[in-house]
Amino acid sequence: MFSAMASSPRRLFASSTEFPPTAWRFFVLGLAILGAAGLVAFAAIRRLRNEAALVIRSSEVLNTITGIDGELTKAGSARRGFSLSNDSSFVYQYKSARDHAEDLLDDLTLFTETSPPETQERVQALTRAAARRLDRMAASIEDVSRGATDRSELLPTDADARNLRNELNLLLANERSLLVGREGRAELTELVSEFTLSAGFAIAMVLFFLAWRRSLRAALQRHESDRLLAERALQLDVANRQLEQLLFAASERMQAPLHDVQAAASTVARNAEGFTTERRDAIDRLSHGASRMSRIVSDLRTYAELVGYEAAHERVPLEDVVRRVLRELAPRLAATNATVTVQSPMPAVIGDPRLVEWVLTQLVDNAIAFSKPGKAPSVYIGTRPADGRVQIVVRDEGIGILRDYHARIFGLFERLEPETHSGSGIGLPIAQRAAELLGSRVRVESEPDQGSEFIFDLPVARDTA
């Protein structure tokens, strides 16, 4: 269960792609507590192993001490038997008991290498006392073997035996005390390990549950938010469509009176032979204003079309698009004596033909509008490759743009030269919006009096890559 939670917490707690921060905090805290409990339990288990090893070592020490006591007793009995009976079989029993006792003393020294210094000192004292006793037993057997006659004198009271017994008893008592302490610590360590794991797991489960509950609550809130957003999006779409319809209707209604004003101004201008210069200027301003207002209304209608426009993705031959743009702008090009140079051949790109045409139309129209006074506009349309895409370039020799205004010119109704140059203030925003629908952006490179270069890029069609 834990491995599943650790490997896929999002899948366990929520099917949503977003895990709330508070839920993450609960989850991470639960993992931290579970990890800490595991570390404590691991340390406790290692300590338990050490204590268990010490308990086993204490048991071996006690068994060894008991064995030494038994072998020394056997050696003493064999010495007495030989002293009383001069039977050589008792000598064999003595040597066997002595060998076993010495082996057990070596084992005891080995077992207590890591014991406290007090225990090691007692082991050394026991080893010395046992060696003295065994040496005196050997001397007594040697005396009997040489033919001592008063056998009763060979059985004196042995003070070393009492000393040896005291050392054995002290060492046994010390090891039993150590054994009891080690067994107690082992039991306590086992309890700590079990309690830590149980408590850590329980706390982690509570925190995981809180994380899951927070995640579920957040998911429900997100679903509710998504529902509200969908409703708002629908309302906004309806409002956009209504606004688009209003712009279309307003542009249609406004064009008719504007055409009437232009027609009236033209009629008056043709019959203005007796008018003063001031009246002629007023008529010219009226005609120019009506023409400009008609263009603004037309551009607003184009901008409104882009609001809900869904771009296509198809092969677009740029040469065909440029031809349509120049054909549409032919009257304006003729009126301004503009020269347009077009690169040939031009590649095909992937995009929406109408949007590409809108971008190029506005960029070429902008190049004509902002030409240098007294000089016929000169415009270049070309392309250049750029990492699997095609950069489409419209360059002019016009008045140029200060670097500080490179971003501003794409805002609605931003006209840097409103008095000296014509323009609706909507053309470049139209070009930028159309480029964005194509997945691109229009950028400009320009300096004052050095002309301007407008660039946008599109994916190249594979057959022309």
Tens of pLDDT, residue by residue over 190-205, are: 676 666 667 666 676 7
Distance CA 428, CA 423 (A): 10
Predicted confidence (pLDDT) per residue in 292-326, tens digit? 666 666 666 676 777 777 888 999 999 999 999 99
Domain boundary assignment for the chain: 2-220, 311-464
> How many whole angstroms from its chain centre is CA 131?
73
Write down the pLDDT at residue 48: 64
State both tokens at 119: 């225990």
Topology of domain 311-464, CATH? Heat Shock Protein 90 (3.30.565)
Helices H / strands E in the chain, number of each: 11, 7
Write down the pLDDT at residue 294: 60
Of 345, 393, 343, 397, whose CA–CA distance to 367 is shortest? 397
Distance CA 91, CA 69 (A): 19
Return the number of other C-beta atoms located less than 10 Å from residue 24's C-beta.
16
Long-range contacts of 200-205 (CB under 8 A, 24+ apart): 200/33, 200/34, 200/36, 200/37, 200/38, 200/40, 200/41, 201/34, 201/37, 203/30, 203/33, 203/37, 204/30, 204/31, 204/33, 204/34, 204/37, 205/30
Distance CA 183, CA 294 (A): 102
Please give the helix or strand (H or E) that residue 179 lies within, else none. helix 159-270
SS3 content of the chain, % helix, strand, coil (to 5): 70, 10, 20
Question: Which residues lie below 8 Å from residue 231, measured CB to CB, with a gap of 6+?
Answer: none
Buried b (16+ CB within 10 A) or exposed e, 281-317: eebeebbeebeebbbbbbbbbbbbbbeebebeeeebb
Q: Check: CB of residue 464 under 8 Å from CB of residue 383.
A: no
- Cα atoms found within 13 Å of the Cα of residue 409, Cβ hemisphere only: 25
* pTM for the whole structure: 0.46
- Cα atoms found within 13 Å of the Cα of residue 97, Cβ hemisphere only: 25
Distance CA 257, CA 221 (A): 54
Distance CA 172, CA 123 (A): 10
Return the number of other C-beta atoms located less than 10 Å from residue 193's C-beta.
20
Kindly give the parts of the chain with pLDDT less than 50.
1-17, 149-157, 419-420
Return the number of other C-beta atoms located less than 10 Å from residue 85's C-beta.
12
Strand-strand pairing, 378-386 and 339-342: parallel
Q: Check: CB of residue 76 under 8 Å from CB of residue 61.
A: no
- Cα atoms found within 13 Å of the Cα of residue 306, Cβ hemisphere only: 23
Write down the pLDDT at residue 56: 75
Write down the pLDDT at residue 17: 44
Distance CA 8, CA 6 (A): 6
Distance CA 395, CA 368 (A): 11
State both tokens at 374: 């007294």
Write down the pLDDT at residue 37: 67
Distance CA 216, CA 454 (A): 51
Please give the helix or strand (H or E) that residue 420 lies within, else none. none
Write down the pLDDT at residue 14: 42
